[in-house]
A and B are shown apart, each in its own frame.
Chain A
Amino acid sequence: MSGRRNTSSPESPRGFRRGLVLFQRLLGRGALAGIAMVLVALMGATAASAYWTAAGTGSTTAAVGTLAPPTNVTVPANSTSSVPVAWTASAGPTVPTGYYVTRITGATSMPACGSSPAALITGTSCTDSSAPEGTHSYVVTAVHRSWTAVSAASGNVLVWSMQSATFTVQPANVVAGQTLPAVKVAVRTVDLLPVMSARVTLAIGNNPGGGTLSGTVTADTDMTGVATFSGLSINKAGSGYTLTASSPGVAGAVSAPFTVTAAAASRLVVAGPASGTASATATVGPFTVQRQDSFGNPVTAGSTEVTLASNSAGTRVFAATAGGAPLTKVTIPAGAASASFFYGDTKAGSPVITGAATGLGQATAQVSVTAAAAAKLVFGQQPTNTAKGQRITPVTVLVVDQFDNPQTTSVASVTMDKTVKQGNLGGTLVQNAVAGVATFSDLTINPAGVHTLIATSPGLGSVTSAEFTSGG
């Protein structure tokens, strides 16, 4: 048994034991090979896995945007053959590629503004320049690729091709400020059909009196195509007035001429030169006293005696002609609106001339009367008593006109002297007038006694002062 591996129990039969030994050897070698094979299989081979097949469904949704229509499509109520159309652009994120405009007349729709689905307008306004006469409305369609969105229709527009307006009732002669009889203007199409709701405006055409047309000067034509103007008046008299009527697209119509006459006289108005020189006769003028109505129109109806007056403190005089016979009244005869007169006043100043007549408002006019030509000298400040040989309070000599109005523009040379020759008169004895006044400021006189001064100027004569004394 030694040297051989014991592979069985001793009690086993010999043959069986030999078999076991052989089996053991084979098993030892085979086990190693088997293990190797299993490991190779486990490590190198992909395991085959099972699965099921299945199906399933699911749903979801997607949102499609939209294209908003344009809004606020507007047209005028009336128009000639050109109709302006405007609208508000589509709102929202989808911006239109453009718009096209459709004119709707009854049940008929026509492309307008030269637009179409193939010729879009990118702005928000257009002019339908070929609209036929009739009543139309418009819709605007927004376009974004294959999408379109149509606006609501605009209001109606009345389209007509007007021929002209005509005065069917002409303005009549009227008194200034009074209401004209109703004037009527008809607006017709080229087919002489009346045009309704056309706005007509009146104005003065020929305006001989420079008047103003008052009242409601605009009116719309009625169902018969006639616009009526009531309550119009013109404030200025004149002959040959005309009115004009105008309306959009209409050639202006001109009325027949008519006359506006003055209303009743209500006041007097004096007009004339603003200034003159002092005079004992009526040399300033001519002045005109006019009879007027309340609108300033001269009134020729009736005769009016006008009393003239002045508030001057001098001697004032009125005359019908320059230097003519004095008078206090003038007469505005019938057929004339005014009378003229001249005015004279010896007192320089700004007297107010008035003209008054019964039942009429008084007229006033102020006139500036200036001094006449320098004519003489007068003492202004007389010499006063003073001590012998002392300076006399300044003495002034005025240059005046013949009415003693200061001649304030004179620069005459004035010489001072004394009337009693004995003794001396000291100081500056020759002074030039300033604004018509010569001032002697440094005069002294000797001897003591009673004196008078005498001032002389070439062409103006001389003047002697009051007496004064020089004390001892």
Chain B
Amino acid sequence: MSKVAGRKKRIIITTAALVAIGGGAAFAYWTAAGVGDTTTTAGTSTNFTITSTVAGPALSPNGSAQTFTFTVTNPGTGVQKLTNITAAVAGTNGAAWTSVTGCSKDDFAVGSPSFTATEIPANGYITGTVTLQMIDRPGVNQDGCKGATVPLHFAAS
């Protein structure tokens, strides 16, 4: 009687362990039918936040470039994948920059952002860099750009 009970115990324990460890593993099961309804709230993505710092001398035609170090942060509660980042001379909302007469995005060259596309865990972040240089446009009066404040707009996806 005790031997039979011991074997039962091992079987039960083993089965329980298999269920506990290998929940996803294929296992022999019976099929059954049944219906039931309930509801749950699905999660959603949260916009990345992008901040940056800049280093380098003030821009001038064909002068030294400024290097921006940007930080993309995932403020959400789940993993979010960062696939692409773009940078352009544009207004805050990405619209064309027209606030300085005689100076436009055409007077500047934005380099390709340097970063690693990756999944960013909740509250995690990655950093990257991008350069901005003023172009010397012979024959074009670029005096309008003197002393200008040039907006650089980032977009992450």
Interface contact B47-A94, CB-CB below 8 Å: no
Q: Which of A75-101 contact B (CB under 8 A)?
A: 93-94
**Distance in angstroms between the alpha carbons of A377 and B136 in the assembled complex:** 115
* Residues on A with beta carbons closer than 8 Å to the beta carbon of B92: 59
Q: How far is the CB of B157 from chain A (nearest CB, A)?
A: 5
Q: Is B61's CB under 8 angstroms from A146's CB?
A: yes
Alpha-carbon separation in the docked complex, A64 to B52 (Å): 17
B60 touches A147 (CB 8 A): yes
Query: Which B residues are in CB contact (< 8 Å) with A130?
Result: none
Q: Decide if the interface of chain A is mainly helix, strand, loop or mixed.
A: mixed
Chain A: residues with Cβ within 8 Å of the partner, total of 41
**B156 proximity list for chain A (CB < 8 A):** 54-58
Count A/B pairs, Cβ under 8 Å. Answer: 171
Q: Kindly report which residue of chain A lies nearest to residue B44, judged by CB atoms.
A: A52
A61/B151 in contact, CB under 8 A: yes
Is the C-beta of A42 less than 8 angstroms from some C-beta in chain B?
yes
A42 CA to B25 CA, complexed, in Å: 8
B49, B58, B150: the one contacting A56 at CB < 8 Å is: B49
**B123 contacts partner chain A, Cβ-Cβ < 8 Å:** no
A141 CB to nearest B CB, Å: 11
**What's the Cα separation between A58 and B137 when bound, in Å?**
28
B98-157 interface (Cβ within 8 A of A):
103, 119, 132, 134, 136-143, 145-157
A184 close to B (CB within 8 Å)? no
Chain A residues in 8 Å Cβ range of B4: 6-9
Is there contact, CB below 8 Å, between A52 and B149?
no
On whether A52 and B79 interact (CB within 8 A), knowing A57-B94, A145-B60, the answer reads yes
The reply to whether B81 and A53 form a contact with Cβ atoms under 8 Å apart is: yes
The answer to whether B27 touches A34, judged by C-beta atoms less than 8 angstroms apart, is yes
- Whether A35 and B61, one on each chain, are in contact in the complex, defined by CB atoms closer than 8 angstroms, is no
**Pick the contact of A62 from B139, B140, B152 — CB < 8 Å?**
B152
- Point out the residues of chain A lying under 8 angstroms from B59, CB to CB: 62-65
Q: Does B96 contact A (CB under 8 A)?
A: no
Given A52-B78, A146-B138, verify A59-B66 contact (CB < 8 Å): no
Cβ B157 vs Cβ A53 within 8 A: yes
| Complex contacts, A8 vs chain B, CB 8 Å | 4
Tell whether, in the assembled complex, residue B147 and residue A64 are in contact, meaning their CB atoms are under 8 Å apart: yes
Contact of A147 with B94 in the complex, beta carbons under 8 Å: no
Contact of A64 among B14, B15, B138, B149 (CB under 8 A): B149
- Please, which residue of chain A has its CB at the minimum distance from the CB of B134? A64
- If A24-B7, A146-B140, A146-B141 touch, whether A63 touches B149 (CB-CB below 8 Å) is yes
A62 touches B25 (CB 8 A): no
**Residue from the set A6, A64, A144 with the largest chain B CB neighbour count within 10 Å:** A64
Report if A120 contacts B (CB, 8 A): no
Q: How far is the CA of A293 from the CA of B63 in the complex (A)?
A: 81
Which residues from B are CB-within-8-Å of A50? 79
**Bound-complex Cα distance A184 to B154 (A):** 80
Q: Hey, which chain B residues are within 8 Å of A62, CB to CB?
A: 54, 59, 66, 68, 132, 149-150, 152
* Distance A213 CA – B83 CA, assembled complex (angstroms): 96
Which B residues lie within 8 Å of A6 (CB)? 3-4
Residues of A within 8 A of B155 (CB): 55-57
Contact A145 B62 (CB under 8 A): yes
A251 CB-CB contact with B under 8 Å? no
Which one, A5, A53, A66, contacts B45 given CB within 8 A?
A53
CB pair B119 A51 closer than 8 Å: yes
B19-34 vs A, CB cutoff 8 Å, 1 = contact: the mask equals 0011011110000000
A41 near B: Cβ within 8 Å? yes
How many Å from the CB of A13 to the closest CB on chain B? 16
Task: List B contacts of A59 (CB < 8 A).
Answer: 91-92, 151-154
Cross-chain contact B81 with A51 (CB below 8 angstroms): yes
| A49 in contact with B52 given A65-B57, A148-B143 (CB within 8 Å) | no
Which residues of A from 182 to 231 have beta carbons under 8 Å from B?
none
CB distance from B121 to the nearest CB of A (A): 9
How far is B24's CA from A38's CA once the two chains are assembled, in angstroms? 9
Contacts of A53 in B (CB 8 A): 45, 80-81, 83, 157
**With A57-B153, A60-B151 as contacts: A52 and B43 at CB distance below 8 Å:** yes
Q: How far is the CA of A27 from the CA of B93 in the complex (A)?
A: 66
Provide 16 A-B residue pairs closer than 8 Å at the C-beta atoms, listed in order of the A residue.
A8-B4, A41-B22, A41-B24, A54-B47, A54-B81, A54-B156, A56-B156, A57-B154, A59-B152, A60-B54, A61-B151, A61-B152, A63-B149, A65-B146, A94-B60, A146-B61
Closest 7 CB pairs of A and B: A58-B50, A56-B48, A65-B58, A38-B22, A52-B45, A145-B61, A51-B79
Residue numbers of B with Cβ under 8 A of A are 1, 3-4, 7, 11, 14-15, 18, 21-22, 24-27, 43-54, 57-63, 66, 68, 70, 72, 74, 76, 78-83, 91-94, 103, 119, 132, 134, 136-143, 145-157
Chain A residues at the B interface, C-beta cutoff of 8 Å: 5-9, 24, 27, 31, 34-35, 37-38, 41-42, 49-67, 93-94, 144-149
